[in-house]
């Protein structure tokens, strides 16, 4: 099929057919990562600038690895030491980068809507959303789809239990959108204080009891809990949270025997997930990390013209 997307701001406009096609490309990149020599010249001559205004390990490093494996030229830009510290606007900064020859800008920012704003201001360069505030994290959703598909096969008709802090999670919003497009039914669970009010409009069900959500699930997705939520009074004690909503062996035992246990990272062991589960036979957490590279390679390849 002809690829029609230049940017990736969200997955809202993607069809199921496009998701299937994209995951097939990610499969090819996954195979490439198994080769003794992983580097290919697909994007030789292209320049990608990584602009991370927030701390990141998995997303930043996997984007950089993906860019280098495809032979793109990589620039890692940081706000500290740049002209933004002198008062230059974000718009002028990216215009400057584009004028210097950037073909793509990967951006993570704490403010909602920054990638969308940049995609409207840049004239030629592609923009890839690496996370904007609590709004979305589309490449995480794509790598989660890829990881779940590798574990389970066809996802149509699968059941997913997403447990944890949905209210503040950009991962949750993108994953709900992506998995539902692939025919997965999603049930949310966690403290009511950490749930959005519009769960029905998201096309998902909410149950407070994690055991009910996990029963028979094919995918158990545990979201990271920030410890400051306890200080804000949004969760009970850490121990109580882990007992009621944490990934324990007894909770996983309620799911399908071959269920995929997932976590976007970084993990708080003993809070949202027990070590025995994180390192257990159902865990695909390290697989998610690997998928992050393959998926971002596929994204760069398709959107920057490698496919053509």
Q: How far apart are CA 31 and CA 44, in angstroms?
A: 20
pTM: 0.94
pLDDT of residue 299: 98
Q: Are residues 293 and 253 in the same domain?
A: no
Structure token digits, residue 303: 């959107």
Domains held by the chain: number? 2
DSSP 258: T
Q: Are residues 256 and 143 in the same domain?
A: yes
**Of 294, 9, 14, 13, the residue nearest 127 (C-alpha):** 9
Whether the Cβ atoms of residue 306 and residue 299 lie closer than 8 Å to each other: no
Whichever domain contains 233, its CATH number is 3.40.50.1370
Instruction: Specify whether 212 is located in the same domain as 250.
Output: yes
The average confidence (pLDDT) of the chain is 93
Q: Is residue 9 part of a domain?
A: no
Residues 128 and 23 both lie in one domain: yes
Is residue 129 domain-shared with residue 29, that is, in the same domain? yes
130 and 224 fall within a common domain: no
The Cα 142–Cα 69 span in angstroms is 19
Model pLDDT for residues 225-271, shown as the tens digit of each residue: 876 666 667 888 889 999 999 999 999 999 999 999 999 999 999 99
Q: In what side-by-side order are the strands of the sheet with 159-163? A: 205-206, 185-189, 159-163, 219-222, 260-262
* Cβ 155 vs Cβ 185: under 8 Å: no
Cα gap 70→38, rounded to integer Å: 9
My answer on whether 176 and 294 are in the same domain is no
Residues 144 and 252 in one domain: yes
On the question of pLDDT at 219 being above 80, the answer is yes
Q: Note whether residue 2 is domain-resident.
A: no
Q: Is residue 8 part of a domain?
A: no
Q: Taking the alpha carbons of 58, 121, 48, 86 in that order, is the dihedral positive or negative?
A: negative
Range of the domain at 22: 16-136+289-303
Considering the domain architecture, whether residues 64 and 76 belong to the same structural domain is answered as: yes
Confirm whether 122 is domain-assigned. yes
Do 80 and 112 belong together in one domain?
yes
**Is the same domain home to 115 and 187?**
no
116 plus 185 within the same structural domain = no
**From its phi and psi, is residue 266 left (phi > 0), alpha (psi between -120 and 50) or beta?**
beta
- In this predicted model, what pLDDT tens digit does every residue of 142-178 receive, in sequence order? 999 999 999 999 999 999 999 999 999 999 999 999 9
**Domain for residue 65, yes or no?**
yes
Q: CA-CA distance, 291 to 29, in Å (whole number)?
A: 9
Q: Is residue 36 part of a domain?
A: yes
198 token code pair? 């519009």
* pLDDT tens-digit map of 29-65: 999 999 999 999 999 999 999 999 998 999 999 999 9
Evaluate whether residue 276 is within a structural domain.
yes
Residue 223 domain-assigned (yes or no): yes
């Amino acid at each position: 099929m002809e690829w029609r997307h230049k940017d990736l701001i969200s997955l809202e406009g993607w069809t199921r057919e496009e998701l299937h096609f994209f995951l097939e490309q990610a499969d090819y990149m996954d195979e490439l990562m198994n080769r003794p020599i992983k580097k290919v010249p697909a994007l030789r001559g292209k320049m990608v600038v990584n602009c991370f205004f927030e701390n990141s390990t998995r997303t930043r490093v996997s984007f950089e690895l993906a860019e280098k494996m495809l032979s793109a030229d990589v620039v890692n830009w940081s706000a500290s030491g740049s002209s933004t510290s002198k008062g230059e606007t974000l718009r002028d900064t990216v215009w400057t980068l584009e004028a210097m020859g950037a073909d793509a800008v990967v951006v993570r920012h704490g403010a909602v809507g920054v990638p969308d704003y940049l995609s409207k201001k840049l004239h030629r360069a592609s923009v890839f959303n690496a996370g904007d505030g609590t709004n979305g994290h589309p490449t995480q959703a794509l790598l989660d789809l890829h990881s779940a598909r590798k574990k389970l096969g066809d996802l149509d008709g699968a059941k997913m239990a997403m447990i944890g802090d949905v209210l503040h999670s950009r991962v949750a919003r993108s994953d709900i959108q992506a998995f539902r497009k692939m025919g997965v039914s999603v049930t949310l669970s966690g403290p009511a204080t950490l749930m959005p009010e519009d769960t029905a409009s998201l096309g998902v069900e909410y149950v407070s009891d994690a055991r009910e959500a996990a029963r028979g699930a094919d995918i158990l997705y545990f979201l990271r809990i920030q410890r400051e939520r306890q200080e804000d009074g949004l969760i009970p004690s850490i121990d109580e949270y882990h007992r009621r909503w944490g990934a324990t062996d007894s909770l996983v035992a309620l799911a399908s025997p071959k269920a995929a246990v997932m976590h976007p990272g970084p993990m708080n062991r003993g809070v949202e997930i027990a070590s025995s589960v994180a390192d257990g036979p159902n865990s695909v957490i390290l697989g998610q990390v690997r998928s992050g590279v393959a998926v971002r390679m596929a994204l760069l390849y398709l959107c920057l013209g490698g496919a053509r």
